[in-house]
Structure 1
């Protein structure tokens, strides 16, 4: 495909409203499948739910050899409440940029992976080994697609994986994990004029939050040279139904981003200890902890041979070979749960500063360069 065809196909994918929730990723998967069918590339749809299907695509060499995995997710976050200057699903091109929800995170990276596979196929490659694309559902809400594919064994044969998340095509070898606990307190309703006859779930939650923000709850960790330390943010709080009713329930959602030295189970145990300490003040406290999302941090050694190979390819193309890390999690949190261990690199067009924002965009040149970059990595890894 030439550059204009590549841009046109990316725009077609951006225009598909695969907003999660609910997802509707099957439309993206089928569009990719139709392109692969045109180029006689093997595909498989793996259904997750209604209108939600993962896509697997493979090109195989004539000889056995290593397997290179490429991955990207098909869902995008909602457009938000702030008005956009560009149509969120118009895929408008202006001043060297393509605008739209998911342009950066991460339909440009996903499409670049697909087009790199087609470029390899057109060159009669690979001669040995295999390139496998894993296009996933539901990364933006718990990485449910990658979890399904991992449990079904689709990553068992991988020898290396590139996650095409937005890094401005810089090489990232580490990313943080995500632990999203939800705490719920339960009380007893009463008339607002007689609060002593009820149990106020909001008051109980307030004490829990106060202690978690104090010295009773401390995230224990060792500083990571690429990722730094963890973060902790209380991002949702809901409680009560009316001003004149004592609330019988309150919940908070917490976003904890973790580094490799941390143990998620220990963090949860610390939270349980805080709740137990609150019971000393409020003996009638009833509370639960639910885990909404649990993604482990991932890190690949800078000395890994695949990392060195990618650095060599980038250097030959005149690109920056500095290694770094990212604060977000990726589907590799699930993919690396496979029994076989393999190196992971996060590298793709677009930037996190534009992701999840109004007027999200990707630089056209960056997108086109990523296609060539993935193709050259595939050629070197599989020859």
Structure 2
């Protein structure tokens, strides 16, 4: 197929997927999952709506072939909310193509990855079934990745697993063998409400929160000194602050949220202890009441940087684009942790597109880069499925 023809097929499929709104929250993946199953059926491939972990939010699993090795291509179909649509130049669900880029929520994160996985499997299916490739290939369209739900984990547990995995997040086709962990902490600072005309009668939770914010700033400076050769620095970033119920009421509580990005050598229970010790000291020094809760956790994950599997993807990426083949880790958190940590499967994060576009207004994907990604994926997959990867 010509490059132009391949780009056209990608544009059509990504456009169809983007036009199906799958925002999470609340978790509107059903119509997209049904579309994917129908698409596979039209291409002669059996795919299943997997109604776990939630019966009302099905995800998709498919398997072609029964031989080894087995390669799993993973993508998630949920997207973050589009936000204020007035801030978009293009309809976030219009899939408008302009200047060789397709615009829309989820175009980069990560419906392009899902689309090239679908197209790759459709092309490889004939070769697998004709015994031209001895291996087999598995497809995931997972739910709930944006909110750390067990979509990919459940698909792996339901038998849609393999020897190798590729999580097709946008990395500009750099091959990531490690990723940071992520933990969100919600900190509640208590006060005592009163009418604002009598502020001294109460205790202002916003004022109580100030020494907590100061301590968190110091904590962030401390953890930034922790570095990893592939992943860079650790971070502790204040991302949300909520307080107050009415203009004339002294607030009785303030809620601070921090986003803690941690390195593979950091343990989550040790981070819990750091947070607890920090807040206990602030509470004692300032005589205020503070509580905290870790609300979400994405574990860090890593495989060997010199993995032969990773090297296959480095090599095929460099064949089609100017892509660094140096060892690399991704700063974001992806479902690759479910492969490595939960299923003990060698896996990478790899895919076309620029992750800096994720979650932004006017999110878009370069269709030529997506076509290069499909070419590299097909080349790498054929090598893997032929059994040419050293264990």
> What TM-score, normalized to structure 2?
0.88
Partner of 2:372: 369
Which residues in structure 2 correspond to 1:99-114 (within 5 Å)? 99-114=103-118
Structure 2 unmatched runs, 5+:
387-391
Tell me the secondary structure at the aligned position of residue 214 of structure 1: helix
Question: Cα deviation per residue 1:134-153 (whole Å; 9 max; x = unaligned)?
Answer: 11112112244234435x35
Partner of 1:141: 147
Partner of 1:250: 254
- Tell me if the contact between 1:44 and 1:56 (Cα under 8 Å) persists in the aligned partners: yes
- Using the alignment, how far apart are the partners of 2:89 and 2:119 within structure 1? 29
| Equivalent position to 1:381, from 379, 384, 390 | 384
- Using the alignment, how far apart are the partners of 2:96 and 2:246 within structure 1? 45
Which residues in structure 2 correspond to 1:150-299 (within 5 Å)? 150=156, 152-154=157-159, 157-214=161-218, 218-219=222-223, 222-283=226-287, 285-299=288-302
Partner of 2:313: 310
Aligned-residue CA RMSD (Å):
2.4
- Using the alignment, how far apart are the partners of 1:188 and 1:36 within structure 2? 59
Question: Cα deviation per residue 1:26-82 (whole Å; 9 max; x = unaligned)?
Answer: 111111111111223222222244652211111114xx3122111111011222335
- Using the alignment, how far apart are the partners of 2:338 and 2:234 within structure 1? 20
- Tell me if the contact between 1:220 and 1:262 (Cα under 8 Å) persists in the aligned partners: no
- Using the alignment, how far apart are the partners of 1:106 and 1:208 within structure 2? 36
Q: Summarize the Cα distance change of 1:195–1:134 in structure 2 as closer, same or farther, 3 Å threshold.
A: same
- Tell me if the contact between 1:10 and 1:108 (Cα under 8 Å) persists in the aligned partners: yes
Q: Is 1:54 paired with 2:69?
A: no
Tell me the secondary structure at the aligned position of residue 341 of structure 1: coil
Question: Cα deviation per residue 1:303-325 (whole Å; 9 max; x = unaligned)?
Answer: 11211222343355565333322
Q: Is 1:20 paired with 2:11?
A: no
| Number of aligned residues | 377
Tell me the secondary structure at the aligned position of residue 290 of structure 2: strand
Structure 1 unmatched runs, 5+:
none
> What TM-score, normalized to structure 1?
0.90
Structure 1 residue 288 displacement after superposition = 2.2
Tell me the secondary structure at the aligned position of residue 64 of structure 2: strand
Q: Which has the higher helix share?
A: 2
- Tell me if the contact between 1:174 and 1:300 (Cα under 8 Å) persists in the aligned partners: yes
